[in-house]
A = this chain, B = another copy of it.
Amino acid sequence: MATNPYPRTKRGAERREQILRAAEVMIGTQGFSAASIADITRHAKTALGTFYIYFSSKEDVFRELVLEMGQLTRAMVTEAVADAPNRLEAERAGLKAFLRFVAERPSLYRIVEEARFIDVEAYKAYFTNFAKAYAAQLREAEASGELRPGDAEVRAWALMGIAKTLGERYVLWDETADIDHVVDEAYSMIRDGIAP
């Protein structure tokens, strides 16, 4: 049966949102396969069948969560970086904001990473969209002399890789890590490299 794409009533919209939030919690903590539809609807305080009024499958909610996460992350970083005085400071601010975001919504972060194994297209889209915007920023900064010339696309992916991995290691795995220190060290490496 096809998903009801737009709830027609206020109640419908609320239920859909309840279920989406419950899915975020359950899939984010248990993982995609361990979280059952029954878990999700129980947590959302609705009947099992209600799920299928709003989503056509478990993959379907999952995809929606990944999409939502993409919008959130982009909006968040964009805002965090908005009033940086220059591109280098924007890098520092962006990295810091991302790590804070991971700390605040570890479950959504986990969902994006798991997407690689559940919905590759959504996963690729998430990072590719991000990388495109990121590379464009780097190109602009390079043009105005704020950065040393270089391949903006490769740089964008490398910088994303740094953020992802530091988030995993120092935020998700380590309750006690000094985030500011990690940001400072990473930033210094990004800015000046490791050569003496």
Contacts and interface: CB of A to CB of B under 8 A. Distances in A.
A147 B194 contact: yes
Interface residues of A, number: 46
Copy number in the complex reads: 2
A150 interface: yes
A28 B195 CA distance: 38
Contacts of A148: 192-196
8 tightest A-B contacts by CB? Answer: A161-B165, A193-B193, A192-B193, A161-B161, A154-B185, A151-B185, A158-B162, A191-B195
B195 A150 contact: no
A161 B160 CA distance: 8
Contacts of A105: none
Contact of A154 (B91, B166, B192, B195): B166
A155 interface: yes
The prevalent SS among residues of A at the interface is helix
A88 interface: yes
Contacts of A162: 158, 161-162
Contact of A195 (B33, B138, B163, B192): B192
A189 B117 contact: no
